[in-house]
Structure 1
């Protein structure tokens, strides 16, 4: 089971544009029904469009913009997003965010000041900072702790564990 992100932003932008167009048309129709001057004059729009030809630059630009928006929306619908889960087996999964948080806690071994973890389905990259001047064995200790924690999840495909130790100024 691989969960993919929802396509909220393209759907929201499309809905907002359609809502704005609908509001302008509805307000203009209501104003016409009440006998007032509409925001958007039908006669002005119809006259402007009637004066255009298929070879006019405005028509080509509008067509190009419509095609570009259509291609972007099509790609947003078809191209898969980044997976938000890592499979435990065929029916269950763990969120990548949960895996990342668990690994960050596991990386906080003795001597580690802070840990930054980037996780996806294939790799768990951990960067730890320490104030120690001599870091002999700290990377191995962190790697063992992280691999043990990742192993507790029993993932279908265990990710590669990468550990990097950064030192700061301080006393050993």
Structure 2
């Protein structure tokens, strides 16, 4: 990583960004499928309970990315530590057990914030350069008129996510260097 300029994300961060976006896409499909099933089940309940359960399910669906990324990070590093010990980052320590470590929970929270920021920036950039001046029709245009637009959005999200992971790494390295002095 020493040969790369600090303003260009290294391959490690591109892999992190692509893995995060692919994990999010898979999680979105799973949540949509489970959401339909849960919606049909709780639709049988009275309206007051129905609305509360919808809000609860929406909150759990939004926060599930933190939990999923934390567990994936934990188990991926356990796998890599067992089969590829030379890939270990020197600043981290192995965490035995089933539950994620503090570092994995941080990666889950940071992955969630990277997802939110990259999505907002991607839609903001697409909104600036959309052929339609009506931003209220952004999702309609996104689904119907321009079939390649989701691909452009994903590319923008990957680029933004890679730069955010690079930023986290640079801040982490700066904090480690400051703590040594």
TM-score for the superposition, normalised by structure 1: 0.25
Which structure carries more strand by proportion? 1
Which structure carries more helix by proportion? 2
TM-score for the superposition, normalised by structure 2: 0.24
Q: Greater CA radius of gyration, 1 or 2?
A: 1
Higher relative contact order (Cα pairs below 8 Å, separated by 6+ residues): 2
